[in-house]
Amino acid sequence: MTFPRPRIGLSAVIVITAVALWSADIFLARTENIEMQTEARHDAEAARRALAQGRAEDAVSLFRKAHALDRENSGYALELAQALMAAGKLSEAQSILSDNLENSPNDGQANLLEARLMVRQGKIDQASAYYHRAIYGIWPENPVRHRVEVRLELANLLASHHASQELLAELLPLETEAQNDLSVRKQVARLYLVADAPDRADAAYRALIRDDSDDGDNDAGLGEAALALGNYRAAQVAFQNAIHHGAQVQNRLDLAAQMADLDPTPRRLSAMEKFTRSARILLLARDALASCASSDRAKPLLEDADAALGQKIRGDATNETAEKFLALAQDIWQLRVDTCAVPSTPNDEPLRLIMAKLSQ
C-alpha cells in the first residue's frame, strides 16, 4: 500500500517544474518586453531630437523603429505620422492617422494632426472640423491647456484666411478659457482686430493694461483699436503711453495725429473747417484712384472730383457742400478698392480709416 506515494511525489515535481518553467518564460518575456520598450523609448527620444533639428527623414526612421518595437504605445504612431508630414510623406501619414482615428475617434492629438494634414492639403473646411474634434477630444494630460492651444492655432489659421466671422466665433470662448493666461489674452486681443471687432479689441486691451500696465505693446494695441473705431484722440493718448513704456510706435502716433486733423465728423468743427477737411479727403481719394486706375468707370469720377475741387466757394462754405465732397470721395474710394487689387500710395491707410468711419 506504499506504492502510490511516489506517484504523488512525481506529480508534485511535474507541477512544480511546469510552474517554474512557466514563471521563467513569463520572466524572460517580461524582461524582453522591458528591453524592447526601453530601446523604443531611446529611439523615440532620438527621433524627437532629429525632428527638432529639422532632420525629418532621420526622425521617420527612428519613429518607425520605436513603433515596431512597442506597438502598444499609440503615441509612437502619432509621432511617426507627424514626422512623415514634416518629411512631406502625406499619404503615409494619412494612412496612420486614419487607422488611429478609426480605433480612437475622440483622440485629441490624432484629430489635431489630421487637422494639420488637411491644412497642408489646402482643405481648410475639413481642417476646421478636425480642429473642433481636437478641442473637444480626449487629452490624457493638461486637457485645458491643450484645448486653448488648439483653439488658438485654429484662430490663427482663420485669421490667415481672412475668415472674420469664423475667427470671432473662436475668439469669444478662447478669451474666457484663457482668462488667466496673459500671453494668450494678448494674442486674442490682437486677433479681435483681425476679426474686424475693434470694440472687443478695445475692451480686451484695456483689461490687459489693468493687469499689466508696464507693457507698451498693450497700449499700442489699444491705440490700434482706437484708430479702427475712429477715436483718433484716444489713439494718440494710447500711442503716447506706448512710447512711454518703450514701444516703437512713433509712426502710429503720427498717423493718429494726422487722422485727428483730417476727421470731418467732430461736432465742434466750424462749417469752413469741415469743408476744408472734406476737400482734403476728396483730393486724397482722387489721387489714390488716379494712381492705379484708367478705366472708363474711373474717368467720370475723376472729372467730377476735379470739377468739385476747382470750383470757387461763394460766401461761406456750407455743411451741404462738405457732405457732397465726402459722398463723392466715398464713391471714388469704393472704385479704388474694386479696381486696384494692391493699394500702393502712402495715403491708403488714412483713407481706409476715414472711409471706414464715414461708412459707420
For the stretch 43-52, pLDDT in tens is: 678 878 887 8
Q: Is 253 found in the same domain as 306?
A: no
What pLDDT shows up at residue 315? 62
Q: How many domains does the chain have?
A: 2
Question: Residue holding cell 482643405?
Answer: 123
Buried b (16+ CB within 10 A) or exposed e, 324-340: ebbebbbebbebbbeeb
Q: Say if 288 falls within a structural domain.
A: yes
Domain boundary among 240, 262, 284: 262
Intra-chain end-to-end CA distance of the chain, in Å: 113
For the stretch 269-302, pLDDT in tens is: 999 999 999 999 999 999 988 887 667 788 899 9
Domain boundary among 217, 232, 262: 262
Q: Which of 78, 89, 77 is nearest to 112 (CA)?
A: 78
Q: Say if 340 falls within a structural domain.
A: yes
Q: Say if 179 falls within a structural domain.
A: no
What pLDDT shows up at residue 40? 66
Least reliable range by pLDDT among 20-24, 151-155, 228-232: 20-24
The domain containing residue 292 runs over which residues?
271-358
What mean pLDDT comes out for the span 325-336?
Answer: 94
Question: Residue holding cell 511546469?
Answer: 18
Q: Is the alpha carbon torsion for 244, 248, 252, 257 positive or negative?
A: positive
pLDDT band at 12 (very low <50, low <70, confident <90, very high): low
Buried b (16+ CB within 10 A) or exposed e, 310-320: eeeeeeebeee
- pTM for the predicted model, two decimal places: 0.83
8/35 Cα distance (integer angstroms): 40
pLDDT band at 312 (very low <50, low <70, confident <90, very high): confident
The interaxial angle of helices 143-160 and 182-194, nearest 10 deg, is 20
Q: Is 276 found in the same domain as 258?
A: no
Rg (CA), the chain: 33
What pLDDT shows up at residue 54? 83
Q: Is 254 found in the same domain as 229?
A: yes
